[in-house]
């Protein structure tokens, strides 16, 4: 990244505090449960009136996993029963048909993603049924669109990979986390380099356009030496993108995380060293640091979008499809349509009941105010451009950055004194140290943090 050689223990302590990851602003704890399915439907209808027709990004949540990884922060249901996923695909098909009936066919799907859970636990037959549902309801651009899926290399067979490729999937994201057997045992995820390499090579052979690998740092027993080996092995595979997530230990939100002993987690100083190692190893291997734990090859669309300042961030991480409305389907799925966020119910039973009654399974949501939209735009620029253009950042909203955010600019002076940013009359730029603590810088623009207690809601920023 990073070019940061060292950090004083005091500074580390000062900035290593709870804070959001900003896949949305305002963050989910601020959303309201009196936001209804009708409110969401109105947002879709408003968006349908845009000209030219706004493209769509679709997200489908497939919650089933065969076993529980103790670090998991996702919404999962542990089950090996394929009949359950068959039932789920049937009910998901009804939600797909319902939402498809709400949007005109000229709204083309330019991005489609299956996440989870473990979407690769679906059988080839279930995959076919699922894609039939989607193709009947939406107009998917399989030629130019990004059609992606998260796979678990422990269970992805050749037959499975061939089936999704033939159905039009062109991008793969695979979970690895860490190859160190001691770490794998502590997090209940045994996945050898050999099995991962075999799946990776099969994906290359099948011609998937882009392959992403997910790693996690901050897991129990991780060391700089051990994680260095994992990074070397992953670099050898040469994925197009890498997401190296910071493990968020939040047992008050995810109860199973108590299975990870706090005393086995790396200390903040080791985590900082791990971050530095990741930055050095990956940029040394030719990857470009995109921001918030993401790296990509220099010719990747994410890298080019960052250069052109057209990169955006949503619930799936970084994206180049800022203009698309995101419609999420499946239990817990989140949507972002125009100035509205909406989330589906969290319980599978509720989801099944509401969808089978012909209702949208909306559980909560939020309509952004103008102030929210301005703040969201600045947080997005921090996360995506690693700078704020003081002259033009608020031009699209008819406001001046220095006037609107006068008190925030004042607050940022302390960050400049600590070496996290550089402030000139034209631009506020994150320094290498500021990139490590970009969440803290973004938090200055989050007006809800003053109202929402920081305590147990968010993970630590380091």
Find how far residue 253's CA is from the centre of its chain: 18
Q: Which of 12, 37, 53, 68 binds ligand SF4 (CB under 6 A)?
A: 68
37 or 68: whose CB is closer to ligand SF4? 68
| Binding positions for ligand SF4, 216-245, rule CB under 6 A | none
Could you say whether residue 129 binds ligand SF4 (CB under 6 A)? no
Report, in Å, the least distance between residue 215 CB and ligand SF4: 12
Could you say whether residue 260 binds ligand SF4 (CB under 6 A)? no
Q: Taking contact as CB under 6 A, which single stretch among the options 42-50, 62-70, 104-112, 305-313 is the one that binds ligand SF4?
A: 62-70
Q: Which of 28, 53, 74, 427 binds ligand SF4 (CB under 6 A)?
A: 74
- The phi and psi torsions of 460 (rounded to 5 degrees) equal -75, 150
Q: Which of 16, 146, 152, 178 binds ligand SF4 (CB under 6 A)?
A: 152
68 or 322: whose CB is closer to ligand SF4? 68
Could you say whether residue 164 binds ligand SF4 (CB under 6 A)? no
Could you say whether residue 184 binds ligand SF4 (CB under 6 A)? no
Could you say whether residue 319 binds ligand SF4 (CB under 6 A)? no
Could you say whether residue 348 binds ligand SF4 (CB under 6 A)? no
193 or 404: whose CB is closer to ligand SF4? 193
Could you say whether residue 76 binds ligand SF4 (CB under 6 A)? yes
118 or 212: whose CB is closer to ligand SF4? 118
53 or 74: whose CB is closer to ligand SF4? 74
Could you say whether residue 19 binds ligand SF4 (CB under 6 A)? no
- Three-state secondary structure readout of the chain: CCCCCCCCHHHHHHHCCECCCCCCCCCHHHCECCCCHHHHHHHHHHHHCCCCCCCEEEEEEECEECCCCCCCCCCCEECCCHHHHHHHHHHHHHHHHHHHHHCCCCCCEEEEEEEECCHHHCCHHHHHHHHHHHHHHCCECCCCCEEEEEECCCCCCHHHHHHHHHCCCCEEEEEEECCCHHHHHHHCCCCCHHHHHHHHHHHHHCCCCEEEEEEEECCCCCCHHHHHHHHHHHHHHCCCEEEEEECCCCCCCCHHHHHCCHHHCCCHHHHHHHHHHHHHHHHHCCCEEEECCEEECCCCHHHHHHHCCCCEEECCEEECCCCCEEEEECCCCEEEECCEEEEECCCHHHHHHHHHCCCCCEEEEEECCHHHHHHHHHHHHHHHHCEEECCCCCHHHCCCHHHHCHHHHHHHHHHHHCCCEEECCCEEEECHHHHHCHHHHHHCCCHHHHCCCCCCCCCECC
Report, in Å, the least distance between residue 362 CB and ligand SF4: 23
| Binding positions for ligand SF4, 92-121, rule CB under 6 A | 116-118
74 or 285: whose CB is closer to ligand SF4? 74
For residues 172 and 426, what is the distance between their CA atoms, to the nearest angstrom? 40
Report, in Å, the least distance between residue 68 CB and ligand SF4: 5
Report, in Å, the least distance between residue 181 CB and ligand SF4: 17
Q: Which of 65, 186, 327, 438 binds ligand SF4 (CB under 6 A)?
A: 65
- The phi and psi torsions of 33 (rounded to 5 degrees) equal -85, -10
27 or 76: whose CB is closer to ligand SF4? 76
Could you say whether residue 153 binds ligand SF4 (CB under 6 A)? no
Q: Taking contact as CB under 6 A, which single stretch among the options 65-73, 105-113, 166-174, 312-320 is the one that binds ligand SF4?
A: 65-73
116 or 317: whose CB is closer to ligand SF4? 116
Report, in Å, the least distance between residue 355 CB and ligand SF4: 22
Binding site for ligand SF4 (CB under 6 A): 65, 68-69, 72, 74, 76, 116-118, 152, 175
């Amino acid at each position: 990244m990073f070019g940061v050689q060292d950090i004083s223990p005091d500074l580390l302590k000062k900035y290593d505090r709870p804070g959001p990851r900003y896949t949305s602003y305002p963050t989910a704890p601020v959303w309201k449960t009196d936001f209804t399915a009708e409110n969401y439907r109105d947002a879709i209808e408003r968006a349908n009136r845009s000209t030219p027709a706004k493209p769509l990004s679709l997200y489908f949540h497939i919650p089933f996993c065969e076993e529980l990884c103790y670090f998991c922060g996702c919404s999962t249901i542990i089950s090996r029963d394929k009949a359950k996923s068959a039932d789920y695909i049937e009910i998901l098909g009804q939600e797909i048909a319902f939402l498809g009936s709400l949007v005109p066919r000229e709204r083309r799907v330019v991005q489609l993603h299956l996440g989870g859970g473990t979407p690769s636990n679906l059988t080839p037959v279930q995959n076919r049924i699922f894609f039939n549902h989607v193709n009947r309801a939406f107009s998917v651009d399989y030629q130019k669109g990004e059609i992606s899926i998260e796979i678990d290399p422990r269970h992805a067979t050749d037959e499975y990979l061939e089936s999704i490729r033939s159905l039009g999937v062109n991008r793969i994201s695979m979970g690895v986390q860490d190859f160190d057997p001691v770490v794998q045992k502590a997090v209940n995820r045994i996945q050898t380099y050999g099995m991962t390499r075999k799946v990776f090579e099969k994906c290359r052979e099948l011609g998937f356009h882009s392959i992403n690998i997910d790693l996690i740092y901050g897991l129990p027993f991780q060391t700089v030496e051990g994680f260095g080996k994992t990074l070397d092995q992953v670099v050898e595979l040469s994925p197009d993108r890498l997401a190296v997530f910071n493990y968020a230990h939040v047992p008050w939100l995810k109860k199973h995380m108590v299975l990870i002993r706090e005393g086995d987690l790396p200390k903040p100083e080791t985590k900082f060293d791990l971050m530095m190692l990741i930055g050095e190893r990956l940029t040394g291997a030719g990857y470009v640091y995109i921001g918030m734990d993401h790296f990509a090859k220099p010719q990747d669309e994410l890298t080019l979008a960052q250069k052109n300042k057209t990169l955006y961030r949503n619930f799936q991480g970084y994206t180049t499809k800022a203009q698309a409305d995101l419609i999420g389907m499946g239990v817990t799925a989140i949507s972002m349509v125009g100035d509205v966020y909406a989330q589906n119910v969290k319980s599978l039973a509720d989801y099944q009941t509401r969808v089978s009654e012909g209702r949208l399974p909306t559980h909560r949501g939020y309509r952004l105010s103008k102030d929210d939209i301005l703040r969201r735009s600045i947080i997005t620029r921090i996360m995506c451009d690693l700078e704020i253009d003081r002259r033009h950042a608020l031009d699209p909203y008819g406001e001046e950055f220095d006037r609107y955010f006068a008190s925030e600019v004042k607050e940022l002076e302390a960050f400049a004194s600590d070496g996290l940013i550089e402030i000139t009359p034209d631009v506020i730029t994150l320094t290498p140290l500021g990139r490590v603590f970009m969440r803290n810088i973004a938090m200055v623009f989050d007006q809800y943090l003053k109202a929402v207690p920081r305590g147990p809601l968010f993970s630590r920023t380091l």
